[in-house]
Each structure stands twice: as C-alpha cells, then as structure tokens.
Amino acid sequence: MLYKAIIASLLLSSLTCSASTGFEYDGISIKTIDASGKVKPIVVKRNIAEECKKIPIDNTIVWTGNYAHTKVPEACKSTYVHTTGKLLPMQLHEDIMTYGELEVLAFMKQMQTDDSMMLIDGRKQDWYDYRTIPGAINMPFHHFKERESFEFEFEHALRMLGVKIQMDETLDFTHVKTIVVFCNGPWCNQSVAMIEALVEIGYPAEKISWYRGGMQTWLAAGMTSTKE
C-alpha cells in the first residue's frame, strides 16, 4: 500500500507542475548491473534537448516531418514530435477507464446506433479542424477548465452532453452521455484538463473513458483520420 501512495503522490506532483518539471525530469535514481556484473548507479529521466524546448508547437510542427530510419519507405514513416508536453499516467481516476485503439474502435462502432455515446476531441478548434478522428465532436478543454470565461460555450457543451441545467443553476447528470475523450497524445494534457473539470462539476466518472494515446498513437497505428 505504501508504494501505491508514493506513486500516486509522484504522479499528482507531475501533473500539477509545469511541462519542464516533475519527477520524470528530476530523475529516479536506480542501481543496475552492467555486463561485467558490477553495480552501476544510473538516473532514469526524460532527456529533452534544449533546442527541442524552443520549438513552437502547432499542427505543422507536430504532424509533418519524418521519424524513422532513412531506409524505411516514406509511406511507412510515422510523423510526430515526442519532446513536448507532460508524461501522463495510465489511469486518471479509479472509475475512469483508459482506452487503446481497439476499445476506441469498438466504442465508435456501437456509437453509430447509440446516441447516448459520444467521442470527444478535447483540443482547441484549430487542432480539431486540421485533423481528428472521424466522428469525433470538438469540445475544447478550456471551455470546461476556464468555464467562468466561456459561460455560453460551457453551457452549450453541457447540454450536448445531456446535462440538464436546473432553474436554480444546479446540474442534473441523470441522463448524461457515455463519453471517450482524447487529445494529441500521451504527452497532451488537454483531454486530462477537460476530464478533471468534468469530474469537478459532478459528471459521473464511470461515464467517462480516456483515450490516452490520442492522435499520436492513432496515426502511428495507421488509423484513418479526417486529413488524408
């Protein structure tokens, strides 16, 4: 139980820190045994070159360019930046499932005949307009995280999710949709920010699932997107 508490504490501190801080950047000291049998101390951390930290992250930077050996045919190369954002845990909440590509596909298939289900792209609109998963609805995370500044957009999104806004402004979650939320990749905090905001206002956690891999792993797996 103690190690679980330690891990939870480390993950929480990492998620609440800025993108360049956290235990993945500070490093974890471990001991390994080298080929000669000697014990060797080593620090395991996320190593990001300084020049990578200065790259302006946008659609063109993230989704174009090659990331493979020169002998790999062009059609086989994945294209993504892996030096940005935060590393995210596999599970955000005990009642929120983390999805992979097959779970997302199964959800999408069922969603075609069940309007109580919704696939949500939690990124800002320019990211969504450039490329997304077919069938996904755009609900920018900042409309939830900064809901006081986006009151109209926030309330519109709530109604789309099936949340009933009562006369006294309390929220009724009785008939809310079952949702899967994603963003750019396992380093992207936008979907996390949206999910955290939903749970904070009382949205049932068991109605939320999180596609952690997002667009990065979706495209790396060769899956169809809206930009061909």
**pLDDT tops 60 at residue 5:** no
Residue for token digits 């309390």?
A: 170
Residue-level pLDDT at 20: 57
Residue-level pLDDT at 47: 73
**Which has the higher per-residue pLDDT, 50 or 109?**
109
Q: Residue 145 is encoded by which pair of tokens? A: 């995280």
Total domains in the chain come to: 2
Mean per-residue pLDDT over the chain, rounded = 85
**Rounded Cα gap, residues 101 and 13, in angstroms:** 28
Residue for token digits 């806004």?
A: 165
Residue-level pLDDT at 184: 94
Counting residues of the chain whose pLDDT is more than 70, the rounded percentage is: 86
**Rounded Cα gap, residues 72 and 79, in angstroms:** 13
Q: Return the amino acid letter for 169.
A: E
In a domain, 74, yes or no: no
Q: Residue 226 is encoded by which pair of tokens? A: 């809206």
- CATH code of 143's domain: 3.40.250.10
Q: Same domain for 188 and 107?
A: yes
Q: What is the pTM of this model?
A: 0.80
Q: Same domain for 30 and 106?
A: no
Query: Which stretches does DSSP call E strand in the chain?
Result: 28-33, 39-44, 97-99, 117-121, 137-138, 164-165, 171-172, 178-182, 208-211
Q: Same domain for 103 and 179?
A: yes
**pLDDT band, residue 11 (cuts 50/70/90):** low
Residue 34, domain extent: 1-46
- pLDDT single digits (tens) 90-131: 999 999 999 999 999 999 999 999 999 999 999 999 999 999
**pLDDT band, residue 26 (cuts 50/70/90):** confident
Counting residues of the chain whose pLDDT is more than 90, the rounded percentage is: 55
Residue-level pLDDT at 4: 47
Q: Residue 43 is encoded by which pair of tokens? A: 């620090």
Q: Which of 200, 190, 185 is CA-nearest to residue 79?
A: 185
> Which helix (DSSP H) or strand (DSSP E) does residue 218 occupy?
helix 214-220
Q: Same domain for 36 and 117?
A: no
Residue-level pLDDT at 191: 97
Residue for token digits 């779970």?
A: 103
> What are the counts of helices (DSSP H) followed by strands (DSSP E) for the chain?
9, 9
- Residue 139: phi and psi, rounded to 5, are -135, 90
Q: Same domain for 11 and 105?
A: no
